[in-house]
Amino acid sequence: MRPEDIVRLAVIGVAIFLAWNLWRGRALIPLYYMCGLVLVSLVASFIVQVENFGAAIDPANIAAISFALAACAGSSTLWQQEIGRDLEGTKVYAPFALADLRSWRVLLKTVDRIGAGPAALIYLLVYAIAIAAVAATVRPVGPGADRAAFVFSLAPTALFALLSTWYLYRGARRLVPGA
């Protein structure tokens, strides 16, 4: 077994474990970090494809897809509870701080300033750019591999981006006053 095969199996195993816990209503790691994990996986996938790191291309794509599918297992209630917990200790009118990047506070402050709809669109735009960048640079691995199949395999990340945007929009509309 090659090292990249071990990485693939480990990533898929962790993603299945996280998805199972989210499905049961428990977030072992906050959903905010799951979103960050998907975004970091997409950026890593883009970088390894641009730099043509052959052995890392497939594991990076699998990581983005697996973590996106795992995060889709969380219910809208779970997302809303997490946003609500972050809102409790947040002064949404306060200026942005670096510590806000470790929770949904940055989203909540953005919602307070520009509204839930535009904030959700900005969130979605970040994922759309990352997904488009990966799709544009996809290099099939192996003989006879089809590029279209790899681009289509990014559909779970697009599903995650749309679903999480919807959950965040709904949660912000319900929880942030005047959103």
Per residue in 101-160, pLDDT tens? 888 888 888 888 899 899 999 999 999 999 999 888 876 655 666 666 677 778 889 999
Kindly report the average pLDDT of the chain as a whole number: 84
Closest CA to 168 of 113, 110, 128: 110
Is the pLDDT at 173 greater than 80, yes or no? yes
Q: How many CB atoms lie within 10 A of CB 15?
A: 22
Question: Looking at per-residue confidence, does 9 or 169 come out higher?
Answer: 169
What pLDDT, on a 0 to 100 scale, did the predictor assign at position 128? Answer: 95
Domain enclosing residue 16, as ranges: 3-175
- Domains in the chain: how many in total? 1
Residue 68 neighbours by CB under 8 Å, 6+ apart: 38, 41, 156, 157, 159, 160, 161
Asked if residues 71 and 34 have their Cβ atoms less than 8 Å apart, the reply is yes
pTM for the complete prediction?
0.83
Residue 136 neighbours by CB under 8 Å, 6+ apart: none
